[in-house]
Chain A
Amino acid sequence: MPMVASEIETLIKASIPDAEVTIRDLAGDGDHYAARVVSRSFEGMSRIRQHQAVYAALGGRVGGELHALQLETAVPNTENLSE
């Protein structure tokens, strides 16, 4: 069942309030999205934990209702340093 991009953004922000969320619809079918999520709450978390926080925000939809979500996470203030 396709999901709209705004719904994904709303769900992420509901559990990660400071998240800056950018969504791209990769295939135009409402089923393959790429999301970039930037939040201070990710600070000190491993990449795995950061992704798990986003998956948790989406409440089990990833891998089910939402076939696949290409995900990129980052912490705002260290972003430029890592480049």
Chain B
Amino acid sequence: MSDAQIRIEQLVKSNDVVLFMKGTPLFPQCGFSSRAIAILERLGAPYETVDVLQDPDIRQGIKEYSDWPTVPQLYVKGEFVGGSDIMMEMFEAGELQQLVGAEA
């Protein structure tokens, strides 16, 4: 396992809710990352973010880690959940709230 994969694994396993995104929650650098943050804010549960633009190894490595070609990527309790489209679908269905254990 490469150094990037080990670091990603640590980030995913040590945070209940972690979003790999472009930019920061205050300054998302992409519309999809912005949408993912908006959903997490609506959930109200605590979350961590990782700005892939600050780290080329993580930016490339996260795509290999999940076999998913795009960022943002959400992980909950160590499991890959999906990108912003899946987050939106799950949020609208009430499933994301259940997954993170947020109050509806």
Task: List the interface of chain A (C-beta within 8 A of B).
Answer: 47-48, 51-52, 55, 60, 62-64, 68, 70-72, 82
On whether the beta carbons of B69 and A55 are closer than 8 Å, the reply is yes
Nearest Cβ on chain A to B20's Cβ, whole angstroms? 13
The residue in chain A whose Cβ has the minimal distance to the Cβ of B66 is: A48
Chain A to chain B contacts (Cβ below 8 Å), 6 pairs: A47-B90, A48-B68, A48-B82, A63-B69, A68-B31, A72-B89
Contacts of A68 in B (CB 8 A): 30-32, 70
* Number of residue pairs spanning A and B whose beta carbons lie under 8 angstroms apart: 35
Contacts of B63 in A (CB 8 A): 63
On whether the beta carbons of B85 and A62 are closer than 8 Å, the reply is no
Contacts of A55 in B (CB 8 A): 68-69
The majority secondary structure among interface residues of chain B is mixed
Nearest first, the 6 closest Cβ-Cβ pairs linking A and B are A63-B69, A63-B70, A62-B69, A47-B86, A71-B85, A55-B69
CA distance A71 to B87 in the complex (A): 11
On whether the beta carbons of B69 and A48 are closer than 8 Å, the reply is no
Contacts of B81 in A (CB 8 A): 48
Contacts of B93 in A (CB 8 A): 82
The residue in chain A whose Cβ has the minimal distance to the Cβ of B30 is: A68
On whether the beta carbons of B89 and A47 are closer than 8 Å, the reply is yes
Residue A70 contacts which of B68, B85, B90 (CB distance < 8 angstroms)? B85
